[in-house]
């Protein structure tokens, strides 16, 4: 009997700890082209984002197929030695549902409209991002009651600073 209770406790604890935490951010500063690349400031921000997130040991990286999101997440992909997977920004509800089923630390590079929408779908928190804001970084920690919302700045030197 004791072994059954102990095994049940261990299994429950391991399932609870494998739920995904989701890190979301908008792409960095961009040029004004049709499918723009990052500016010099955007490239510097992408490196800062990589330095902030890499210690979290990401297990999966997602980006839309646009240059600006791909280039923003590229330094993190290199540091973490992970391939960047694509998601469809027009199918956010389905993507959010798949994020709920993942394990580890999942990182998502998005846009000023898609990142707040994913934050809202997953955590219920509304946090608008305007066209001139590039420094918001969100960490959604999965708990037994859903995702807990945390906001950081990509200008921080660590994720202990808000």
Q: Is the pLDDT of residue 161 over 80?
A: no
CA angle, residues 127, 26, 99, in degrees to nearest 5: 80
3-state SS, 75-123, equals HHHHHHCCCEEECCCCCHHHHHHHHHHCECEEEEEECCCHHHHHHHHHH
**pLDDT of 11:** 36
pLDDT digits (tens, 9 = 90+) for 7-48: 333 334 333 445 789 999 999 999 999 999 999 999 999 999
**pLDDT of 15:** 37
Higher pLDDT among residues 11 and 49, named by residue: 49
**pLDDT of 67:** 98
**pLDDT of 18:** 59
pLDDT digits (tens, 9 = 90+) for 74-114: 999 999 999 999 999 999 999 999 999 999 999 999 999 99
pLDDT band at 142; cut points 50, 70, 90: very high
Q: Is the pLDDT of residue 134 over 60?
A: yes
Domains of the chain listed by start with CATH number: 19-153 (3.40.50.1240)
CA distance 116 to 127: 6
């Amino acid at each position: 009997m004791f072994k059954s209770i102990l095994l049940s406790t261990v299994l429950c604890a391991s399932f609870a700890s494998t739920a995904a935490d989701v890190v979301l951010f908008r792409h960095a500063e961009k040029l004004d082209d049709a499918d723009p690349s990052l500016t010099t400031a955007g490239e510097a921000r992408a490196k800062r984002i990589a330095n902030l997130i890499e210690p979290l040991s990401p297990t999966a990286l997602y980006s839309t197929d646009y240059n600006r999101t791909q280039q923003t997440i590229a330094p993190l992909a290199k540091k973490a030695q992970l391939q960047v997977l694509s998601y469809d920004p027009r199918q956010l509800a389905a993507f959010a549902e798949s994020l709920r089923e993942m394990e580890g630390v999942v990182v998502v590079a998005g846009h000023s409209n898609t990142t707040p929408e994913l934050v809202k779908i997953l955590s219920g928190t509304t946090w608008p991002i305007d066209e001139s804001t590039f420094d918001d970084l969100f960490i959604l920690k999965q708990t037994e009651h859903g995702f807990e919302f945390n906001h950081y700045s990509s200008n921080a030197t660590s994720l202990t600073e808000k």
